[in-house]
Structure 1
Amino acid sequence: MPTPGTPLPAALIPDCTEPEAHHTAYRSAKINNVIFVCIARQGRRWKVELDAMASSEPPIPDEAVIVLRSAAEALVLADTVTQANIAPDYISMWAIETEERAREIAAAFHAALHGLQQLHVAVPGQRRRA
């Protein structure tokens, strides 16, 4: 089991298809003060969900969101996902063909979001001088 606060490998991304599994995984993320990540079956396809609000760390800056949005757009253009929502504190992508691909995408975005969040904490933006 990874240390709380570290990105999860694909095999450990929780399947939150059932509402109780989602509730349990989100509660665990809140207790451990980490970014929530999961996959869930939607019909014959899969959804990826990440929520940085489970963590008390600040959301990543808009400049970093551009990187995540670009990656998500590439997945849409490649027909890997049909739709994606990317915000500083929440990411969702859906209609992913297989569970394995959903896990891979979830793990990659979890690692990226975690890393960008930690970078933002370590190197805060310059404050404007009045």
Structure 2
Amino acid sequence: MAMTADRRRAQAKVEYDAFLAVCPSRKLLERISGKWVALILAALGGGGSPRPDADCAGEPRSMRYSELSRLLVGVSQKMLTQTLRSLERDGLVTRTVTPTVPVTVSYELTELGLSLHHMMRGLKTWAETHMDDVLTHRAAYDDDRTG
């Protein structure tokens, strides 16, 4: 008996295992684990603030490309564009073009993107909270190796 396309997809979903080299979820993990993805998701999810002392748990919102570029200090135009395109392709963000002069392009999290944002915001918060601990451990490790 032949399987329908929906049945094959359901069967494959049950079998996703990122520990296996052939699993497509491994590629997805690779894509979403990058720093720019995490920071873009945090920014669009309301966690982007130009002031370090500001509350980072704001509401998800739409942001213009130029806002994201200013907020993500150090990201190149090429990297930001590529990352936003990949997030749009994966269904995590939507891109809206408004026909103004000049054209306004904005990005917003989809429901799928918002579900990932919650985890990424936790990861970002963990990194910020524990950076001093990690630096202390790195220094101790390096001292042990050279000492």
Structure of greater relative contact order (alpha carbons < 8 Å, 6+ residues apart): 1
Structure 1 length normalisation: TM-score? 0.31
Larger Rg: 2
Structure richer in strand, relative to its length? 1
Structure 2 length normalisation: TM-score? 0.29
